[in-house]
Amino acid sequence: MYIASDKRYETMKYNRCGKSGLMLPAVSLGLWHNFGDTSSYINMEKLCFTAFDNGITHFDLANNYGPEPGSAEKNFGRILKENFLPYRDEMIISTKAGYTMWEGPYGDWGSRKYLLASLDQSLKRMGLEYVDIFYHHRMDPNTPLEETMGALEQAVRSGKALYVGLSNYDGPTLERATAILTDMRVPFVINQNRYNILDRTVEKNGLKETAPRLGKGIICFTPLAQGVLTDRYLNGIPEDSRVRTDSRFLKESSLTAEKIERVRGLNEIATLAEMALAWILKDDAVTSVLIGASKPAQILDNIKALENTTFTAEELAQIDALSLM
């Protein structure tokens, strides 16, 4: 049986989700990659142990994470049962629903039917009575926002989720959703969105400004741009890289010579991956960054970003000049 390190809370920083009482570690572990049925279960355990031993208490999933869809939740559920049950109350476990999960008209988007059925399935796969945060995974242009938010309210009222979150929402829709959830007295605390030095969408669509104004937290995924903001691709594409082994999310065509040249310039400012994570965490608006990892050492390297999250005006100007071209 796994026994957690008694030093696990000594160095991690914890930030409050907006104006709520919930705190998240500044670095959280995402199970988007490397927890499906094509990955090593022993390595999954090592990743979770390394994370928790170093104060990463938040483990982020979604119903469709795999491959196959659902397998990340299933595998994490096994790790929970075999190793983490004594520590459940020290953990924040989140999952989501909003992307295609099963065939037919009831396995996608944001209907009440889909969200509540998906949550039940997620809890069964993980062997849990509740999740700490349940997210709607993406905006649904065809379902009334009141229906989607009502499903989140039901998830909390039924005791199957403690808090709710929204993922991939823009600022205006977030504002409307907040008004509905506030009226329902639903503990909505966090927004999950893509954000990194090379992708500034949340700065353009109103999300980054709106969330703190409304007292909500932000947690950022793909902070390293699927590995582009590391030294992984500075000198070509390694044969064992994600581009070669799983091109669903990072395609070779996106690694243009112009982009790699800009990334090389960023790498001259500071150690690239640490700088990319620290750049996100420099703002009080951001509660946590979601990292992915294929090796325990990557988790330890990413945590080093917490050692210095301050930048000079000159450094920020250099970063902007290279990333906003």
Sequence-separated contacts (24+) of 225-230 with Cβ below 8 Å: 225/196, 225/197, 225/198, 225/199, 225/276, 226/250, 228/198, 228/254, 228/255, 228/259, 228/263, 229/196, 229/197, 229/198, 229/263, 229/266, 229/272, 229/273, 229/276, 230/272, 230/273, 230/276
Phi, psi (degrees; rounded to nearest 5) at 129: -85, -25
The pLDDT, as a whole number, for residue 242 is 62
Contact 219, 289 (CB under 8 A): yes
Q: Please name the residue that has the structure tokens 């999310």.
A: 249
Euclidean distance between CA atoms 116 and 228, whole angstroms: 36
Euclidean distance between CA atoms 152 and 182, whole angstroms: 12
Half-sphere exposure of 253 (CA within 13 A, CB side): 3
Half-sphere exposure of 70 (CA within 13 A, CB side): 13
Euclidean distance between CA atoms 74 and 224, whole angstroms: 26
User: Reduced to 3 states, what is the DSSP secondary structure of residue 25?
Assistant: strand
Euclidean distance between CA atoms 51 and 64, whole angstroms: 22
The pLDDT, as a whole number, for residue 325 is 65
End-to-end Cα, the chain, rounded Å: 51
The pLDDT, as a whole number, for residue 240 is 59
The pLDDT, as a whole number, for residue 1 is 86
The pLDDT, as a whole number, for residue 73 is 98
Give me the tens of pLDDT residue by residue for the chain, a chain 325 residues long.
Answer: 899 999 999 999 999 999 999 999 999 999 999 999 999 999 999 999 999 999 999 999 999 999 999 999 999 999 999 999 999 999 999 999 999 999 999 999 999 999 999 999 999 999 999 999 999 999 999 999 999 999 999 999 999 999 999 999 999 999 999 999 999 999 999 999 999 999 999 999 999 999 999 999 999 999 999 889 998 887 766 555 565 455 556 666 677 888 889 999 999 999 999 999 999 999 899 999 999 999 999 999 999 999 999 999 999 999 999 998 6
The pLDDT, as a whole number, for residue 243 is 58
Write out the two tokens for 14: 């914890």
Euclidean distance between CA atoms 126 and 166, whole angstroms: 21
Euclidean distance between CA atoms 80 and 152, whole angstroms: 25
| Residue-by-residue DSSP string for 32-72 | SSS-STTS-HHHHHHHHHHHHHTT--EEE--TT-TTTTTHH
Euclidean distance between CA atoms 43 and 53, whole angstroms: 15
Phi, psi (degrees; rounded to nearest 5) at 60: -110, 125
The pLDDT, as a whole number, for residue 283 is 87
The pLDDT, as a whole number, for residue 233 is 80
> What is the topology classification, in CATH, of domain 14-323?
TIM Barrel (3.20.20)
The pLDDT, as a whole number, for residue 2 is 96
